[in-house]
Structure 1
């Protein structure tokens, strides 16, 4: 109202500049500024991914079954038939789409936190690689943004290297969700899929494995740097069998996206979590982020905390079809030391104190 009165006053005084200024103020009052629009788009892009990951597969499964009971049963039958024919595609390199990986929505996703990818060494396109990603966090935001999209410029920083982020195989049994994941170059974290990428798809492939998995997600809390790695040696054995180099990757800030309720070992809720983890393949966590409208309220939106992913120096691995336990132990120890050195070298650059320690469980 004051703005309108100011414009009217300017008209009476004959000051055209006053009218122009008043109209500009009026437009700002009714139209949000660019920074606010970008913030909203960033939030929408992140929520899109969170909701997609949580409910898209289940919702599409229910819809597919429901359509069989309606006049649209033919559409459902055709899709089901195609699903059966296409069942093994995720195990055979998937169906990557450069168009999807370069969607503008992923740049808003990146800027929400923001997420950065830092290269420390060159990777040779003549080799294959297994990236060990740490820590898991709740939703692996850093892993998805850096390796499931081109928002942080992976292909420009590592020319000739094609990343494939490995996730739960169960996701690829769900209609529509499987196709969405495959379009980003995401693959099942099982032996057949990884074997294909490292043996039958030439060179320049990088399979990204979140080594800690579901067990690690149960331990993630803001400000805590711990990884589940001591007894995780399968990825090292696989690297030896395929002659693929090991690359440690650490994301500072991955655990800060959500706050989680940690149940003590031996409690009923902890036992339920572990049993469901064995049955479902993932650990149901009790977590919360911030609200959609008030930053200090609880909600499903993650906190906008910076995530910086450091890709470390590759460890050259020879090809040994049947490696002994001693050889696996040796390369596993090399990998652990390399990850520890990577953390210690960069921790002070991203807000951690020199005294901060990486706990390896």
Structure 2
């Protein structure tokens, strides 16, 4: 049975998530408020995936917090297999997650904002590492087409510090086959405990997307290049806020 995706507010706003935000000293930095149009759905593109997109997860309970400007009730798109696993399917559903497939997200965007991590499983293996910031996104154009099909503006988000949280070792081919990450991860004391790395969730201004039911490859590429430029600008603008990150660069793969 697949989880229904019905949000359980008491779970989504549980004190546990506030404790985790304090653990990571999570900061959400936004453009001057208000930067989003009230009642209008947006597609939030989160980067990087890293071993686990902790910044994206912990920002979901802040979607109705006035200081973030994020829309209430926004959903998060996750790998469909996660919504079929015992226990985990309920955790993701209670938080308000939906399957990361075209039709589900397309339908949701008619009324509600949706956040997703475009890198997917490949981002764990080919994306950011503790020693390097990299996003695996050049070949990821499906979410761009989806935004164009629905005329939904894209909001770029970069979670700085997220890649330093955990190390990972696993099988890329097996993970792609099952469409979920398969492997082992470790952090503090070589245990599956995340390192206490500060995370800065930097949110950019919405990128206007013109609705097109049949966009040309050139039109898709144009929107993608604008997104990538905004992503690099977000990274460069905020990297000095993390000690030791001042000289890091963001590679687009």
Query: TM-score w.r.t. structure 2 length?
Result: 0.91
Indicate the residue corresponding to 1:132 in structure 2: 45
Larger Rg: 1
Question: Partners in 1 of 2:182 and 2:58 — Cα distance?
Answer: 22
TM-superposition CA deviations, 1:57-97 (whole Å, max 9, x none): xxxxxxxxxxxxxxxxxxxxxxxxxx4xxx5x63xxx2012
Q: Deviations over 1:270-321 (max 9, x none)?
A: xxx232022211232443111xxxxxx3211111111111111100111111
Q: After superposition, where does 1:113-262 map in structure 2 within 5 Å? A: 113-121=24-32, 122-147=35-60, 149-150=61-62, 154-156=64-66, 157-158=68-69, 160-199=71-110, 202=111, 205-219=112-126, 220-261=128-169
* 2:7 counterpart of 1:99: no
Cα-to-partner distance string for 1:104-158 (whole Å, 9 max, x where unaligned): 11111111122222212511124221111111111211111102x24xx653222
- How many residues are matched? 249
Asked which structure has the greater RCO (Cα within 8 Å, sep 6+), the reply is 2
SS of the equivalent of 2:210 reads coil
Secondary structure of the structure 2 residue equivalent to 1:328: helix
Distance 1:131 1:120 in 2: 14
Kindly state the Cα deviation for residue 167 of structure 1 after the two structures are TM-superposed.
0.8
Contact 2:71–2:113 (CA under 8 A) maintained in structure 1: no
Q: Over aligned residue pairs, what C-alpha RMSD do you find? A: 1.9
Equivalent of 1:321, from 213, 216, 220? 213
Partners of 2:155 and 2:116 lie apart in 1 by 10
Structure 2 residue matching 1:120: 3-state secondary structure: coil
Q: Which has the higher helix share?
A: 1
Q: Which runs of 5+ in 1 are unaligned?
A: 1-82, 262-268, 291-296
Helix, strand or coil: the match of 2:76?
Answer: strand
Q: Whole-Å Cα distance in 1 between the matches of residues 167 and 91 of structure 2?
A: 28
TM-score by length of 1: 0.65
Decide whether aligned partners of structure 1 residues 241 and 178 sit closer, same or farther in structure 2, where only a CA change above 3 A counts: same
The verdict on how the C-alpha distance between 1:352 and 1:170 changes in structure 2, with shifts beyond 3 A counting, is: same
Counterparts in 2 of 1:354 and 1:301: CA distance versus 1, 3 Å: closer
The answer (yes or no) to whether the contact 2:54–2:162 under 8 Å persists in 1 is yes
- How far residue 179 of structure 1 moved from its aligned partner, in angstroms, is 2.5
Give the drift of 1:210: 0.6
Counterpart CA distance in 2 for 1:243 and 1:126 is 15
SS of the aligned residue for 1:356 comes to coil
2:228 — aligned with what?
336
* Equivalent of 1:281 in 165, 179, 186: 179
Q: Is the 8 A contact 1:125 1:159 kept in 2?
A: no
Deviation at 1:354, TM superposition (A): 4.5
Structure 2 unaligned regions, length at least 5: none
The CA deviation at 1:336 is 0.8
Tell me the secondary structure at the aligned position of residue 283 of structure 1: coil
Shift of 1:231: 1.0
